[in-house]
Structure 1
């Protein structure tokens, strides 16, 4: 880069800064920066409009155009016609549109019947949909997704209501129990002080609740198990020295039978009867005799 180029760039920067400073101080006039708006010219080109109308106009039959020009259908009794002052009344304006369409339909059906055109759709009529199957599939998926989300929100709402109801019932049950407990404690205090003759809640058994029924079932089950074990193993307790005689049992002679005693224990003298016919097993000889017997065999 030459020195002349550098000096020209520096001068241009200085001039730009001076212009910006003068513009900020309001010393510069509008000059060429003033935006001028051209005056709007309105033309009524009748001939050009007629030419364009001739280009757009098609000489088609009424069956292709289906255009009608008629007055609205007569108003029903009790309804007023819409005037210029009622143009801002939404209900009357929409009612006028409805009557206009009604009159147009009635006149159009008559003209179609004159031309021999059928105005009722047959039962087997098939019309192709304007939208594609892919688009309708997307619409169906969106509807299903919306339905599922609504069902989930309704289910969550019901669950919240059930939780609130459950908490309310639980709170009422706790309050009822606390009230019964206070009443019972008051009754016990009055009974201790002698203000009451008896405690009513001890006599008032009432129908068994769910917990009482469960407790009764468990108790019956335990009793049956206990009976089975007692029948199988006895009643427990101390087994050692259970058949040991005492002074009372030794002195008790109520069950003594002398005939049975003599039969079991022999003669009255207490000795056992000898039975010569019955012989017991032979006794084993001593060691010395066994050795003599061995030496004889050799």
Structure 2
């Protein structure tokens, strides 16, 4: 039988930890009150944390001696000046005395941001002094985290969204134009109805003898659109060269049949009569003395042939 000592954590302690207790021994220990009801799990003693500050500083000093700063890139500095607090006129805390609420996410992240900003301002001059480039060259090609196929899919999706937005905007503009066109059309119809109503009332007044003015007839001429007036002004200038040629060649239309018949006025008009042209006394084919060379008759020509 194995002896069981009382323990505040386990309820019992065994000298031989590797050996397992039998059922009878456990029952006897429970009967004597050495075991408590529930799970009995052995607990390891908590490890004691050793904060060896001197050893850590010694290791850090060894690292600094063995590696140059370009390989370590370590900097210890205070955060940059809080611009927002400075603009608001708040008093800036001294180095290391700034109270940061760790539970406030914005304040904590801003503190990290300011510290990184101050570190960059200190590191850049050192890197430039060591002639280490701090900007990416123009011909630098980095490996993308996403594949080209994935980026093509994203590009197609963006193009589809853009075309959908453009279509919706065009449809919206068309709807607005239609609304405006309908509004203008209804306004024009209403104006015409008003003018027609005013015209009918003026005509009725004139028919009943209530007025003797005909100004309502001149209103239509004044209300004509500007296009017709401009067209009239263009027509006043006269026809173009093509129209003039056609008029000269084909006339101005109207009745053609019987246009050359003599009338009483044309018969009595003798201003165009010329005595030289009358009875063959003159003309283009006139010979000496103004007489024309007439062709001999048929019998005279037959005799002339017989003589030959």
In the superposition, the TM-score normalised over structure 2's length comes to 0.47
Structure with a larger share of its residues in helix: 1
